[in-house]
Chain A
Amino acid sequence: MSLLLSLAMRNLGRNRRRTVLTALTVTLGTALLTLALSMLNGILGATLEKAAGMAGHVRVVDVDYARREQLMPLAENLPDVAAVLAAVQGQPHVLAAYPHIAMGVTGAREDQEIGERFALLHGAPEAYYRDVLHLDQFLASGAMPTADDEALVGRAFAEEIEAKVGDSLIVFGQTQDGSPAPARLKIAALVDLGSTTQNRQIWVAMSKAQWMADLDGGATEVLIQTDDFERAVDVAAGLRDLPALATYDVHAWDERSPYDQIGGLMTAIQSIAASIIVFITGLGVLNTMFMSVLERTAEIGVMRAFGLRRWQTVLLFFFEAFVIAALGGAVGIALGATGATIFGRVGIHLGEGASKMPATIPINETIYPHLTPDILVTGFMLGLAMAVVGGFLPALRASRIQPIDAMRQHR
């Protein structure tokens, strides 16, 4: 085995230029792959973390609310929010739990007709707005509300009703009984979350939303923040067993639509991207390896005549491809990592189209690639995969060379 390895190493020096070119192919492929995976991760990671925060890492709702959640049915609210909050606090991995109400409203500036402009209104404790949604970091103008009749208004909605900070607006919703629920709100600040759909929202004090929905001290959802949004599923499973939550729907964000499909989708996209890059690079490696095999037919024949077994021949060429891929791959991830880090700071601008995605998939206009250690590992492993793809057939071909071919070459 060490014989084969040392032979392989020596053989790499045989045609320096070709070895370097092949290694460069792998370098390019690996660098591209690292950058691509970082980009997808950037879109995926940041987006999903944000989405998970908005959706609640783990959400507790009434079973009927979950069933009809597209309608946001206020009537299917949680009968005893305090009990849920008490049961959930202090559970392992739970950082905080917040009651939450969401309802669709129409609104207009106070001095105008109640209009047809639609917005999604949220009611939650101020801590939720600060610590989970980080709205205080996305204020386009104004300041966080200080009174219960003040609200944070998304920029797109404010523009549509031609309102600014300090203006009063009238919103019109419904109570849980279906009776009218109008409210007058003063705009404390405009919020910009990066996309139009996300900026058609209004955030009010919990008490105000409760009054509007006629939910005395209640809420339709309890949103729970965990310490690791990627492991929320496990926390949800644990909470589901609590007696206080026995009759409710308790699920992690990625168990619910539409995120339950997105994870699989993104993995599929990553796999396709990776496969394409591996395949193309592998072809490059295959090309040079084949040439190498053909050139060395006589030499291989001699070695076979002297006792080299077929499997040893395969392994020899495999090692050669492997070493090239390992070296090229190492340089490749270094390059890719550098690129990802630079773009990670500067950002890649996608343009307006990205912000038209639905509010549940918050993609911003600028993407920041996000490099993680497992991308580096994946990149390197796939670099080796390129060796497998590229080295396999030539190695097989080499193993078919018979000792007699060493003779026939020189007829």
Chain B
Amino acid sequence: MICQLIGATKVYPMGDLTVVALRGIDVGVESGEFTAFAGPSGSGKSTALNLIGCLDRPTEGRVMVDGRDVATLTDGALGELRAKRIGFIFQSFNLIPVLTAAENVDLALRLAGVTENRAARVEKSLVDVGLKDLLHRRPAQLSGGQQQRVAIARALVKNPAIIIADEPTANLDSSNGEAILDLMREMNERDGVTFLFSTHDPMVMGRARRVVRLKDGAIVGEERRA
């Protein structure tokens, strides 16, 4: 298993209230999966992915990545794990507006500490997502779909083991959304990168090979398909 949540609970304060986002869930992910964590808003899907992506730590329980308990890692080591092994794609694209598409992708490599061969890798990444001619455009000059492609290129360029995508199609229209999902599936099948989505979009759920359903912080069901 490439990553695993064991009895993971997450509680955080919100003003005067305490929110229980996850209630001791157990879930394992194998390498190469194309899996969606699905559920309504507040179900804990994003929280679960945050834990797996090492963006957050559980209040109780364990998070295992590459067979290691992330609780044993320092913040520095955690950062490094993230930088080298995990890629992120966000709902709002979150590209650096003052950098071009190529520079945005390049940034990911530089932050991961890669010094050699960057230009070639960046170009290949952007070509892979079909943006060959738009390398030097800034996000403001790209459409929503194009921006998300850049984000995918950014996430993939460093050859991560896992890509975590938080509602990646939420800000795209349906045709763009489908195109994006197909692209990601292609990457998954070609390179064996594990994709984990959080979503409430049925289209996304439809294209995933495994769907883990959550509600109110607990897993309520699971489906697998081909």
Query: Residue on A with the closest CB to B103?
Result: A10
A32 to B76, CA, bound (A): 45
Q: Is the CB of B56 within 8 A of A305?
A: no
Within 8 A of A (CB), among B79-96: 79-80, 82-84, 88, 90-92, 94, 96
A 117-132 binary contact with B (CB < 8 Å = 1; else 0): 0000000000000000
B135 to chain A, nearest CB (A): 16
Query: Which residues does chain B contribute within 8 Å of A7, judged by CB atoms?
Result: 96, 98-99
Which residues of chain A from 1 to 42 have a CB within 8 Å of any chain B CB? Answer: 3, 7, 10-11, 13-14
A403 within 8 A of B: yes
Q: What 1/0 mask marks residues of chain B from 96 to 137 whose CB sits below 8 Å from any chain A CB?
A: 111100000001101111000000000000000000000000
Contacts of A269 in B (CB 8 A): none
The answer to whether A308 and B111 have CB atoms under 8 Å apart is yes
Residue B9 at the chain A interface, CB threshold 8 Å: no
Residue A153 lies at the interface, judged by CB distance under 8 Å to chain B: no
Sorting the interface of chain A by its residue count into under 10, 10 to 19, 20 to 34 or 35 or more gives 20 to 34
A91 to B181 CA separation, bound complex (whole angstroms)? 91
What 1/0 mask marks residues of chain B from 141 to 170 whose CB sits below 8 Å from any chain A CB? 000000000000010000000000010000
Do residues A298 and B88 form an inter-chain contact, with CB atoms below 8 A?
no
Shortest Cβ distance from A309 into B: residue? B79
**Are A406 and B94 closer than 8 Å at their CB atoms?**
yes
In the bound complex, what is the Cα–Cα distance between A404 and B79 (angstroms)?
A: 12
Tell whether, in the assembled complex, residue A303 and residue B96 are in contact, meaning their CB atoms are under 8 Å apart.
Answer: yes
B50 CB-CB contact with A under 8 Å = yes
| Cα separation A311 to B133 with both chains bound (whole Å) | 35
Q: Does A407 contact B83, Cβ atoms closer than 8 Å?
A: no
A110 proximal to B (CB < 8 A): no
Residues of chain A within 8 A of B98, CB atoms compared? 7, 10-11, 13-14
A305 touches which one: B46, B88, B92 (CB < 8 A)?
A: B88
- Residues in A with CB closer than 8 Å to B203 are none
B73 at the binding interface (Cβ < 8 Å): no
How close is B159's CB to chain A, nearest CB, in angstroms? Answer: 14
What's the Cα separation between A7 and B88 when bound, in Å?
Answer: 21
With A302-B88, A407-B90 as given contacts, are A307 and B80 in contact (CB-CB < 8 Å)?
A: yes
- Expressed in whole angstroms, the Cα–Cα distance for A14 and B99 within the complex equals 10
Please, how many angstroms separate the alpha-carbon atoms of A402 and B79 in the complex? 11
Interchain CA distance A176-B90 in the complex, whole Å? 96
Known contacts A10-B98, A306-B83, A306-B88: A407-B55 contact under CB 8 Å: yes
When C-beta atoms are compared, the residue in chain B nearest to A409 turns out to be B92
Q: Are B112 and A306 in contact (CB under 8 A)?
A: yes
CA–CA, A308 and B46, complex, Å: 22
Question: Are A306 and B108 also in contact (CB < 8 A) when A404-B55, A407-B90, A410-B91 are?
Answer: yes
Q: Is the C-beta of A49 less than 8 angstroms from some C-beta in chain B?
A: no
Indicate with 1 or 0, residue by residue over A281-305, a CB within 8 angstroms of chain B CB atoms.
Answer: 0000000000000000011011101
Q: B80 to chain A: which residues have CB within 8 Å?
A: 307
Measured CA separation A406–B95 after assembly (Å): 11
CA distance A341 to B110 in the complex (A): 49
Given the known A-B contacts A10-B98, A14-B97, are A407 and B166 also in contact in the complex, defined by CB atoms under 8 Å?
yes
Chain B residues with Cβ under 8 A from A403's Cβ? 55, 82
- Report the Cα distance A31→B159, complex, angstroms: 52
Give the number of A-B contacts (CB < 8 Å): 65
Task: Collect the chain B residues with CB atoms within 8 Å of residue A406's CB.
Answer: 90, 94
- Name B94's contact: one of A14, A302, A309 (CB within 8 Å): A302
User: Nearest-CB distance from A307 to chain B (Å)?
Assistant: 3
Contacts of B97 in A (CB 8 A): 14, 299
CA distance A277 to B223 in the complex (A): 67
Most buried by B among A3, A14, A407: A407
Which residues does chain A contribute within 8 Å of B166, judged by CB atoms? 407
A407 to B157, CA, bound (A): 21
Q: Taking the nearest CB of chain A, how far is it from the CB of B154, in angstroms?
A: 8
B80 to chain A, nearest CB (A): 7
Between A10, A298, A307, A409, the greatest number of chain B beta carbons within 10 A of the residue's beta carbon is seen for A307
Most A CB contacts (10 A, CB to CB) among B79, B154, B166 go to B79
The chain B residue sitting closest to A410, CB to CB, is B92
- Taking a contact as CB atoms under 8 Å apart, the answer to whether A407 and B46 are in contact is yes
A305 nearest CB neighbor, chain B only? B88
Query: Which residue of the partner chain B has the closest CB to A10?
Result: B98
A312: nearest chain-B partner, CB-CB? B111
Closest chain-B Cβ to A327's Cβ sits at a distance in Å of 17
B111's partner among A11, A298, A299, A307 (CB-CB below 8 A) is A307
What are the interface flags for B52-95 relative to A under an 8 Å C-beta threshold, 1 for contact and 0 otherwise?
01011000000000000000000010011011100010111010
Within the complex, the shortest CB–CB distance from B99 to chain A, in Å, comes to 6
Q: Which residues of B contact A407 (CB under 8 A)?
A: 46, 50, 55, 90, 166
B99 nearest in chain A by CB position: A10
> Which residue from chain A places its CB closest to the CB of B78 in the assembled complex?
A403
Cβ contact within 8 Å between A307 and B112:
yes
Q: List 27 A-B contacts (CB under 8 A).
A: A3-B107, A3-B110, A7-B96, A11-B98, A13-B98, A298-B94, A299-B97, A302-B96, A306-B82, A306-B107, A306-B154, A307-B80, A307-B82, A307-B84, A307-B108, A307-B111, A307-B113, A402-B55, A403-B55, A404-B56, A406-B90, A406-B94, A407-B46, A407-B55, A410-B90, A410-B91, A410-B92
Q: Interface residues, chain B, CB within 8 Å of chain A? A: 46, 50, 53, 55-56, 76, 79-80, 82-84, 88, 90-92, 94, 96-99, 107-108, 110-113, 154, 166
10 pairs of A and B residues whose beta carbons are closest in the complex: A307-B83, A307-B111, A10-B98, A302-B94, A403-B55, A404-B55, A306-B111, A404-B56, A305-B88, A306-B108
Give me 6 other A-B pairs in contact (C-beta within 8 A), A3-B107, A302-B90, A403-B82 excluded.
Answer: A303-B96, A305-B55, A306-B154, A307-B83, A307-B112, A402-B55
